[in-house]
Amino acid sequence: MADVDLLVAGAGGGLAGALRASEQGLSVVVAEANPHYRRANNTAMSTAMIPGPGSRFQRAAGVEDSPERFLADVAAKTHGEADPVVAATLAHLGAELVEWLADHVGLPVELAAVDYPGHSVRRCHTVPGHHGSTLLRALADAAEASSSIDLMCPARLTGLSPASSEGHLPSSSSSEGPLRSEWQVTLTRPDGGSEELTASAVLLATNGYGAAPDLVARHLPGIADAAYHGSEYSTGDALALAGPLGAASGYLDAYQGHAGLSAAARTLVTWTTVMNGAIVVDADGRRFGDETVGYSEYAAMLAARPGARGWAVFDARIDALTREFTDYVDVVEAGAVRRGDSVEELAARIGVDAAVLAAEIADAAAVAGGRQEVDRVGRRSVAAPLEAPYAAVEIVPALFHTQGGLHVDADARVLDAAGSPLGGLYASGGAAVGMSGHGAAGYLAGNGLLPALGLAYRAADHCASQASTVRKVHA
C-alpha cells in the first residue's frame, strides 16, 4: 500500500488539486521547492484572472456566456490551433471551478469589470486587488488547515519512477480501470537531504520552463532576450521527470508574454490602461502596432523596437480606474509614473519629440471620437480620448510563463506518444499543454491560471474516482 494517495509537486495552482483530493478523502503530500512560494511563484505573481464561462457571477451581472462561446473565442485567438481536449475540458469546467473557489476555498470571487482582448464578453473572475497573492494565500491557508494534506517546503521532486517490482510504469487495466501500481518519488531539500515515499498518483504542478534560459532560447527565440517575470523554480522539471518515462510533450513554442512590465518597478502596468484608452509608444515616441490585439503578442513586438522598451501613455482618468489593481499601485508607489500637465511637458519628461507624441495621441483620439474608424496602426477601439494632465510609465517586454508541456487527456492524465495514459501520473498548469495554441498570439487573459487550477482540480477528481474503484475491488 502506498504511503500517500496523491503527491502534488508544486504549491501554486497544484494546491487546488490537493484541496479537491482532500475533500474526497484522499491523503495528500504537497512538495514545494520554493520557500517563498506564497509571494514568488507564478500563481502569486498573476493578476488572479480565471475565465468561468456561464458562472453565477456572470448571470448576476447580466452577462450571457457559455463554454461554447468561450471555445469560439479560443479558436479565433489561436486560429484553431489550441489543444482541443484541454480547451474543451477547461471551457466546460471554468464556471464550476470559480464557484468552488468561492464556496469551498472561501475566496471573495468577483467578475472583473474589464473587457480583455479576445474575450467577447466579460468572463474573467478575480479577487479584490486583482492580485494572485490573495488567491494563493487562500489556497495555502486552506491546505495548511487540512488534516489530510502535508506540506513539505522547501522540498523538490527530483526522482520519479515506477514502484512495482518489475519496474514497469503504473498503468490501468483499461482506460478507465483501477490503478494497479505505485510511484516511487524522491523529495530533495536544499541542504541535500532527501526523503523517499510511494504514492498511488503524482500530480506534476511544477509550472513550465521560463526560468531555464537554454530551453527558452531553443523554443522561444523571439522572446529569449526579454525579462523573465516568473518563479525562478520554473525550470522544466515536469519535462525532465516525465520525458524519460515516455511522456509526450507539445506546444513548447507557446508562451504568455507581457508588454507592460514597468522598467523601474518591475511589476505590471496592467493592460487595463490600454483597454481604457492608453496608447503605447516606443523610445522615439511612435506607436508601432494595435495595442488591443493582446498584451502577450505585444511583448515580442515591443522587444523588436529600438532599445526593446517604450512607454505606456495615459491620463488621470485611466490612472484613477487602474488604482484598483495592486500591481499598478505598486508601480505608482515606486515612483515609476512620469506626469505632465501638457503633451509638451510629458514629452520632455520621457525624452521624446513633443510633436511626434502629440500626433500619436491625436490619431488615437480620432478613433475614440468617431472621426475615423481605424487609426494608422490598425486600432479600431479607443475607450476615450486622452486628455491633460497626462502620465506615462516606461515599459519593457517580459516572458511570464510558458504554455507548452506534457500532453494530457480530459482527466489531466499524462499521455505517452501513442496517446495512452501513464498510470496515475497527472500534469497541470505550465507542466502540461495549455489552451493557447502556438506562439504568444493565442493567449487570452486568464488562460494561464485556468489550466493551472482547472487541470489540478480535474486530476484530483479522477484520482479520487480511481481510488474509490480500487477500494471496491479490494473490499
CA distance 324 to 303: 28
CA distance 439 to 142: 35
Q: Which residue has 509638451 as its cell numbers?
A: 344
Name, in order, each residue with C-beta under 8 angstroms of 306's C-beta and a sequence gap of 6 or more. Answer: 282, 283, 284
Asked whether the beta carbons of 346 and 390 are under 8 A apart, the reply is yes
Using alpha carbons only, give the angle 242, 13, 424 rounded to the nearest 5 degrees: 35
Query: Residue 108 carries which side chain, given as an amino acid letter?
Result: P
CA distance 196 to 213: 30
H/E segment holding residue 30: strand 28-31
Query: Residue 38 has which C-alpha cell?
Result: 506564497
* Tally of helices (H runs) and strands (E runs) in the chain: 15, 19
DSSP 429-475: GGGB--SS-STTTT--TTTTHHHHHHHHHHHHHHHHHHHHHHHHHH-
CA distance 205 to 437: 20
List pLDDT tens digits, range 298-318: 999 999 999 999 999 999 999
Domains and CATH numbers, the chain: 4-211+403-474 (3.50.50.60), 256-399 (3.90.700.10)
Predicted TM-score of the model (pTM): 0.94
Beta-ladder partners of 9: 31, 204
DSSP letter at 179?
A: B
Contacts for 374-378 with beta carbons within 8 Å, 24 or more apart? Answer: 376/287, 377/287, 377/288, 377/289, 377/290, 377/291, 378/289, 378/290
Q: What is the pLDDT of residue 236?
A: 98
Q: What is the pLDDT of residue 165?
A: 44
Q: What is the pLDDT of residue 180?
A: 44
Cα atoms in the 13 Å half-sphere on the side-chain side of 428: 30
Q: What is the pLDDT of residue 42?
A: 95
> Quick check: helix, strand or coil at residue 395?
strand
Pairing of strands 156-162, 310-315: unpaired
List pLDDT tens digits, range 98-125: 999 999 999 999 999 988 999 999 999 9
Phi and psi at residue 236, in whole multiples of 5°?
85, 30
CA distance 33 to 27: 20
Pairing of strands 50-51, 124-126: antiparallel
Q: What is the pLDDT of residue 179?
A: 44
Beta-ladder partners of 125: 50, 111
Burial of 266 from C-beta contacts in 10 A (0-12 / 13-18 / 19+): middle
CA distance 161 to 173: 19
Asked whether the beta carbons of 257 and 348 are under 8 A apart, the reply is no
Residues of the chain with pLDDT under 70: 164-181, 471-475
Query: Residue 452 has which C-alpha cell?
Result: 493551472
Nearest Cα residue to 18 out of 163, 188, 205, 190? 205
Pairing of strands 50-51, 249-250: unpaired
Nearest Cα residue to 213 out of 229, 242, 235? 235
Per the rule left: phi > 0, alpha: psi between -120 and 50, beta: everything else, 335 is left
Torsion sign across C-alpha atoms 114, 119, 121, 126: negative
Helix 14-23 and helix 132-145, axial crossing angle in degrees, nearest 10: 30
> Quick check: helix, strand or coil at residue 257?
strand
Q: What is the pLDDT of residue 114?
A: 87
Query: Residue 69 carries which side chain, given as an amino acid letter?
Result: R
H/E segment holding residue 344: helix 343-350
